[in-house]
Amino acid sequence: MKLSRAVINQSVSIALDVADHFKFHLPDFAYWTIEDWDKAGEEYHEVRNCMLGWDVTDFGSNDFRKVGRVLFTLRNGRFGTKQYPKEYAEKLLIDPQNQRAPAHFHKKKREDIICRAGGNILVQLTKADIDGNPSAETFTVQVDGCTKRLSPGDIVRLKPGMSLNIVPHTIHQFWGEEGTGYAMHDDKYTLSSEISSVCDDRNDNFFLVDYGVRFPEIDEDEARKYYLCHEYPEAVATQPTNS
């Protein structure tokens, strides 16, 4: 099954409400309409080519409320090009209670998960072995600069203001803790963010349960209200000025 455009539209609208409630200010293009993007020129190539903006996915799970993610990429670089030399990325994540991405790890990306506001974030962690499978080894992580030794599958609870550093080859899965968060739109929401090295969502996600896609096919059951980060139209050509 495809992910419904109606679900995408609603999810972005809710995300904007949650960000507004917690006074997390987003850049102007977060609010752009389809018409705004259709008129945007080459000066917005970085947004397009580094996949900034809205990202709504169910990873192909067909169960968006349980296995899905709504986020906004604020900044990012791009491997292999001198045009986008940033070595860091930042994402804002909207966390309804219990919704999560599939457990996964990265081979390149190091990231901090930060609980910003609302309820608590639960992060389950396991070290990956050389073949990418869960390891039986204990390992250490940094929580607000404090070293903690964990066993496979341990869960770290992040209260608002707390952060956790996740190094490459660490399997992780995180979600808004049930019963916590700000109540709105028939759910409870927590706001978190990810600050990391460059994010390459097409090539550096390794899922333990692979539902098949990172960016889903979409059922166009209603008109698109927002472009997702992998949907932007080509730039409008810059018109030469008459001298």
> Which 3 state secondary structure label does DSSP give 19?
helix
Q: Is 236 part of any domain? A: no
* CATH at 46: 2.60.120.10
pLDDT at 80: 86
Residue ranges of the chain whose pLDDT lies below 70: 237-243
Query: In this structure, is residue 13 part of a structural domain?
Result: yes
Residue 48 placed within a domain: yes
pLDDT value, residue 212: 86
Look at residue 240 in the predicted model and tell me its pLDDT: 47
pLDDT digits (tens, 9 = 90+) for 1-23: 899 999 999 999 999 999 999 99
| 243, part of any domain | no
| Cβ proximity of 197 and 109 under 8 Å | yes
Q: Does residue 215 form part of some domain?
A: yes
Domain total for the chain? 1
Taking the C-alpha atoms of residue 137 and residue 129, their distance in angstroms, rounded to an integer, is: 9
Cβ contacts of 34 within 8 Å, gap of 6 or more: 224, 225, 226, 227
Q: Is 237 inside any structural domain?
A: no
Q: Which domain holds residue 109?
A: 3-219
pLDDT at 243: 39
pLDDT value, residue 237: 62
pLDDT score of 241:
46
> Residue 230: inside a domain, yes or no?
no
Q: For residue 56, count other CB atoms closer than 10 A to its CB.
A: 26
**Three-class DSSP category at 37:** helix
